[in-house]
């Protein structure tokens, strides 16, 4: 009887100690888990970078239709009198470039011929996408592409103006030609008047066209049997889209030089019409 009484007193005591130990272990586990989880969440939240907003344009318009709707097209591609109305309509419709990704790269081409000259026109749209918008936005990526093309054209990237340090060093003046002898009449003799040459505007950065723009003007070398052709190329960026326009004029008669001013003006007018279309 005494042995049974001892057992009744010892067993409840052991059970109570076991329960207390289990409770303490569980409490320690919960506390450690809570602290570790809170630290992990804090680190994850602090290191997460907010991605840049996607570019303004998510798709591209059809270039053939975009240009065909412009009244500038007929001025750039005069049709010969021998063409029928159906042939004229087909010419102004244009031929679309082959594209495997119509949301990223599209283009269209036109050819106009007359007895005096052949004119070629091409328009290309490229939508630039940044694959890591946590580091670079679509617009910034498009600007990088534009700057590479500006550099390939060997044109300077326009920097800040108004600062003497940013201004290029002026070129040294050319040596003056020796003075002409003075005739008996007292007035210095002047060189023979040269025939007036067409104004050459040259390649340059453009203002007021999209976000960034430049123009290239190239004239092919003169040949004895072939006329010089002129190609004007305008590249401009609007948000994350880059537009490239190329307009070539090939006269039929040797010795004929396509005018720089007219060719550039017509190309620039088309570029402005397309820029306005993108801003709609």
Q: Where are the domains of the chain?
A: 63-156+200-279
Phi, psi of 86 (to 5 degrees): -65, -40
Q: d(Cα 233, Cα 273) in Å, to the nearest integer?
A: 15
- Identify whether the C-beta of residue 249 lies closer than 8 Å to the C-beta of residue 270: no
CA of 27: how far to CAs of 13, 17, 168, in Å? 21, 15, 74
Beta carbons of 41 and 33 less than 8 angstroms apart: no
- The pTM of the whole model exceeds 0.75: no
User: Distance (Å, rounded) from C-alpha 140 to C-alpha 25?
Assistant: 56
Q: What is the pLDDT along the chain (280 residues), one digit of tens a residue?
A: 444 544 445 445 444 444 444 444 444 444 444 444 444 444 445 556 778 888 899 999 999 998 876 678 888 887 777 888 888 888 889 999 998 888 899 999 999 988 888 999 999 999 999 988 888 899 999 999 999 999 999 887 765 433 333 334 334 444 444 444 444 444 444 444 344 455 567 899 999 999 999 999 999 887 766 788 999 999 999 999 999 999 999 998 888 889 899 999 999 999 999 999 888 7
User: Tell me, what's the pLDDT at 46?
Assistant: 53
Q: Which pLDDT value is given to residue 60?
A: 93
pLDDT computed for residue 182 by the predictor: 43
Q: Is 179 exposed, middle or buried (0-12, 13-18, 19+ CB in 10 A)?
A: exposed
Q: Are 209 and 279 in contact (CB under 8 A)?
A: no
DSSP 118: E
Longest dimension (CA), the chain: 159
β-pair partners for 105:
126
130-150 as b/e: b if 16+ CB within 10 A = beebeeebbbebbbeebeebb
Task: Give the whole-angstrom CA distance, residue 43 versus residue 27.
Answer: 25
Between CA 11 and CA 52 the distance in angstroms is 68
């Amino acid at each position: 009887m005494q042995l049974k009484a001892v057992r009744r007193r010892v067993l409840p005591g052991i059970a109570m100690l076991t329960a207390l130990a289990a409770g303490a272990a569980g409490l320690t586990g919960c506390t450690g888990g809570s602290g570790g989880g809170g630290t992990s969440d804090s680190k994850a939240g602090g290191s997460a970078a907010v991605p840049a907003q996607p570019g303004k344009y998510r798709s591209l318009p059809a270039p053939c239709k975009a240009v065909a709707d412009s009244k500038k097209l007929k001025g750039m591609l005069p049709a010969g009198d021998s063409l029928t109305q159906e042939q004229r309509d087909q010419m102004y419709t244009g031929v679309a470039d082959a594209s495997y990704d119509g949301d990223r790269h599209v283009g269209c081409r036109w050819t106009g011929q007359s007895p005096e000259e052949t004119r070629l026109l091409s328009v290309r749209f490229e939508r630039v996408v940044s694959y890591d918008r946590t580091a670079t936005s679509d617009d910034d990526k498009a600007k990088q592409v534009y700057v590479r093309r500006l550099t390939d054209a060997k044109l300077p990237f326009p920097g800040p103006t108004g600062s003497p340090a940013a201004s290029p060093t002026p070129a040294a003046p050319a040596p003056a030609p020796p003075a002409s002898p003075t005739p008996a009449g007292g007035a210095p003799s002047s060189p023979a008047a040269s025939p007036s040459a067409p104004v050459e505007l040259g390649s340059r950065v453009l203002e007021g066209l999209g976000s960034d723009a430049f123009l290239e003007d190239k004239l092919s070398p003169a040949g004895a049997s072939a006329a010089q052709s002129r190609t004007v190329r305008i590249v401009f960026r609007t948000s994350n889209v880059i537009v490239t326009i190329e307009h070539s004029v090939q006269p039929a008669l040797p010795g004929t030089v396509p005018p720089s001013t007219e060719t550039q003006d017509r190309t620039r007018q088309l570029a402005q019409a397309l820029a306005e279309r993108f801003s709609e």
